[in-house]
Amino acid sequence: MIFNRDLKIAALTLPLLISGCGSLSSSGSSFFTRQDSAPAQAVDISHVTDAVPRVEPHSRYGNPESYVVFGKRYYVKKSSLNHVERGVASWYGTKFHGRRTSSGEPYDMLAMTAAHKNLPLPTYAEVTNLENGRKIIVKINDRGPFKKGRIIDLSYAAAMKLGIAKAGTGLVEVRTIDPSEPLKPAQTPSLPPPTLTVASKPPPQADKLKRIAPGQTVGIYLQVGAFGDRINAENLRIRIRDIETLPIAKINITQGAKENASIFRVRIGPIDNVPEADQVIKRLAQLGIEDPHVIID
């Protein structure tokens, strides 16, 4: 997460103020090396309801044009409309409870909130657990997660509602909500009665995503490159063979089309679980292949 972001000092302080959920070391006594955790006592979240989308201006804080974390530059989107993506969700809890979020609001681990690297603050989004079909609505008011291979960091309560708190991660779909449109009945939060909704017209990006039924087996794939020349794709495939624990059968080249031209994508998968994917991502980094695109299919 990024906390206490002032736009004037963001570029200088962000590397010192963030720590990806689930990526912290348990050694040492300083704040930045202390392990995050769930509440010490069991918490009843049955009364915690979905965030209720409403039209509100972008926050004064947390919305620079771009910012740098751990040497990587992230660009903040101008609009949240028609954004949909699938990937791995994580969560954050007691370590940040009560601390200032990127938007300036205090973090409440028992509220339905989340953090995202690129969406403007605030943004409301519907998050679906692709493995059990559970859906929640959260208010995105923070920046993160910055652990490789993660797309959204959920509050502890949101993670509990989705059923991913115990595992620490989950495979999800994030679909932004247009707060100016009426809420569809099937997506109505239980309390209070909402007046806003997910955008009714799905964008082309959403149309390309194959629908996943609740309980349907899904796989994790890492796309490590896309080329207009198959030879370049084959060269990358050969390079990846250096990963000793990765069966060669899981390194594939698929051919597609983009803007009326052939494109050859190099993908690794299916990968059985998130910890295994994390290990492959780490090994890829050692080979100089950074930030593979996580695909859930």
Would the pLDDT of 36 be above 60? yes
Nearest to 175 by CA among 141, 156, 151, 157: 151
Task: Please report which confidence band the pLDDT of residue 104 belongs to, taking 50, 70 and 90 as the band edges.
Answer: very high
pLDDT at position 89: 98
Containing structural domain, residue 250:
220-296
User: Across residues 100-122, what is the average pLDDT?
Assistant: 96
29 and 163 share one domain: yes
184-235 tens-digit pLDDT: 654 444 444 444 444 444 444 444 566 666 667 788 999 999 999 999 999 9
Kindly report the CATH number assigned to the domain that includes residue 14: 2.40.40.10
Would the pLDDT of 274 be above 80? yes
Does the residue 186 lie in any domain?
yes
17 and 153 share one domain: yes
- Which residues have C-beta within 8 Å of that of residue 90, sequence separation ≥ 6? 20, 21, 22, 145, 147, 150, 152, 153, 154, 168, 169
25 and 153 share one domain: yes
183 and 246 share one domain: no
Does the residue 18 lie in any domain?
yes
pLDDT at position 241: 85
Q: Among positive and negative, which fits the CA dihedral 257, 259, 261, 266? A: negative
Identify the residue with better confidence: 214 or 146: 146
Residue percentage of the chain with pLDDT more than 90: 63
Round the average pLDDT of the chain to a whole number and report it. Answer: 82
Does the residue 2 lie in any domain?
no
159-188 tens-digit pLDDT: 999 999 999 999 999 999 999 886 665 444
Does the residue 214 lie in any domain?
no
Residue percentage of the chain with pLDDT more than 70: 77
Domain count, the chain: 2
pLDDT at position 281: 94
| C-alpha span between 81 and 84 (Å, rounded) | 9
